[in-house]
Structure 1
Amino acid sequence: MTKTLLFLSVLVSGLTFAQEDLLKDIDTLKTNTEVSQPAFKALQIVTGQSTKLTAKKEWYIVVAHRFGDISTGFKNFFGLDDASTKLGVIYGLTDAVSVSLSRETNMKTFEGAVKYKLLKQTDNTPVDIVGYNVMAVNTDLDKDNYPYLKFGDRLSYLTQALISRRFNDKFSLQLTPSFIHKNLYDPAIEDKNQFLAGLGGRYKISKRISLNAEYFVNFDNHSFYKNPLSLGMDIETGGHVFQLVFSNSQINSDIGYLSNAAGKWGKGQIFFGFNLYRVF
């Protein structure tokens, strides 16, 4: 109950800005019965994926940065001395299918992903449904620590169903059932197979401002890692998207974010950062 109340409270605390040149396809209504506006304006709600996809032949450059734990105070200058960065590209094969490749400094992880629309919300269809699949390679592992390490041990996988509904011009919600499989894992702190359920939301308070939050429950039997809880502010200007992020997970990669959140909001263990999208 406490986590539910916390999510509902942060769902109405965050900011989103948008620019007309990138939102033209969002803010223009079609004359037919099809709902032309997606539930979310950005490719991510905060850190987790949203049901929005790139357009056909559209390129995105992605830079995601997370500073360290702000609760350390001046010792690490409120986290500025300890940061993790992800660089990536996204390409729209069609209006309904996109592919991406990224690399994060934390655990030196590469991730390849495909995102594809399965169902579009219309007057006769209540929700958008998008599939999202990721394969990650942890290149930080070495044989000094794992003498029998094989390439397959570096791999982990994520499968998600992104289910969103745009209730009106102001309010959207998304449910995100997720499954993670790790070939190499520590059974003392996590499971090989992990099931999660996520809830994310957006509430628009003006033409260019909305409130966003997301929370994932990990049904892993172990309790070393925490459930990721994040909120943020989106700013879209000059052909790029800029998202300010506050989260209890420092990791930017999809699998790491969902399964390796270490901070506690109640103790001020929060990681500040940003996501930057540049579209071509």
Structure 2
Amino acid sequence: MMKVMLFLALLSSNLMFSQEDLLKDIDTVKTNAESVQPAFKALQIVTGQSTKLTAKNEWYVVISHRFGDVSNGFKDFFGLDNASTKLGAIYGVTDKVSLNLSRETNQKTWEGGVKYKLLEQGNNFPVDVVGYNVMAVNTAFKKDIYPNLKFSDRLSYLSQALISRRFNDDFSLQLTPSFVHKNLYDPNIEDKNQFLTGLGGRYKISKRISINAEYFVNFDNHSFYKNPLSLGMDIETGGHVFQLLFTNSQLNSDIGYLTNALGDWGKGHIFFGFNLYRVF
């Protein structure tokens, strides 16, 4: 799988090499004696959020795609027949606060969120600390299945503390304690309130490419779902950031990714996908 990702990375870089590098400042911020460069280039490590924020008045358009289970082989053309797509927009209200809105085809979920920087890594503090809060609306729930369904039953919530440290120019690490609350859930397979902790990192292998990984442990002991594990690659090109990835969670939404992973790495049940960012 790593050979496939490296091939795609080299291909994308060659195709885009002639473009003007509109993201030449993506790995830098306004610095002084008290601050350092951001820990991550992209707004996500793989699917989970990173401590990077948009700049003031900056717009991002995000397209995320997860194909089906690659273990089905040619039957589903290695997952291409069963894809899930998320389309979203992110706006930087200030350099330290951003708002986002997205819609995913799988479960027809809308998510709105706010991301805000609380503390910054520098000479006087060892890490970046960013808060992230999301409210999701599952519009796939049907009243013929849930005859007493209320709008509030469609809602779920996510709160995260994103804590990262940039150790050097090549290596960054992030710890992500998380809490999820679902108004409508099946007590036979999951809990109403779920606590998770994630660990993710990025290692830069060239000027434009890094290898990323993340893993979340869900402390919901009787959960039917798996802990999400994802491996990815960031590719910086002219005006874009590509993220190629393999994961055991097909869902793109923040809450769905964390709590509804069905794939099993040990059995080869994984999903290939990508995230594409465009900055305006």
Taking structure 2 as the reference length, the TM-score comes to: 0.91
Deviation at 1:194, TM superposition (A): 0.1
The equivalent of 1:5 in structure 2 is: none
Q: Offset of 1:98 from its aligned partner? A: 0.2
| SS of equivalent to 2:213 | strand
Q: Could you tell which deviates more after superposition, 131-140 or 69-78?
A: 69-78
2:208–2:237: 8 Å Cα contact kept in structure 1?
A: no
In the other structure, the counterpart of 1:83 is 83
C-alpha displacement of 1:29: 8.0
**Partner of 1:24 in structure 2?**
25
Note if contact 1:180-1:193 (Cα within 8 Å) is conserved in structure 2: yes
- For residues 145 and 272 of structure 1, the distance between their equivalents in structure 2, rounded to whole angstroms, comes to 32
Aligned counterpart, 2:105: 105
Asked which structure has the greater RCO (Cα within 8 Å, sep 6+), the reply is 1
2:218 maps to 1:218: yes
Write out aligned runs for 1:101-180 (5 A): 101-180=101-180
Partners of 1:27 and 1:60 in 2: CA distance: 17
Partner of 1:256: 256
Q: Structure 1 residues 181 and 28, CA, compared in 2 at 3 Å: closer, same or farther?
A: closer
Kindly provide the amino acid, as one letter, of the partner of residue 262 in structure 1: L
Is the Cα–Cα contact under 8 Å of residues 244 and 275 in structure 1 kept in the other structure?
yes
Work out the number of aligned pairs and report it.
Answer: 268
Uncovered stretches (5+) of structure 1, i.e. residues with no partner: 1-9
Deviation at 1:204, TM superposition (A): 1.5
The aligned residue for residue 238 of structure 1 is 238
Q: How many angstroms apart in 2 are the aligned matches of 1:76 and 1:26?
A: 38
For residue 207 of structure 1, report the CA deviation from its aligned partner. 2.0
Contact 1:26 1:36 in 2 (8 A): no
| Letter aligned with residue 168 of structure 2 | N
Which whole-Å CA distance do the structure 1 matches of 2:195 and 2:27 have between them? 33
- Cα 1:55–1:70 shift into 2, 3 Å: same
What is the SS of the residue equivalent to 1:21?
Answer: coil
Q: Distance in 1 between matches of 2:144 and 2:81?
A: 28
Separation in structure 2 between the aligned mates of residue 48 and residue 68 of structure 1, nearest angstrom:
19
- Mapped to 2, the partners of 1:93 and 1:27 lie a distance apart of 19
Instruction: Report the aligned-residue RMSD.
Output: 1.9
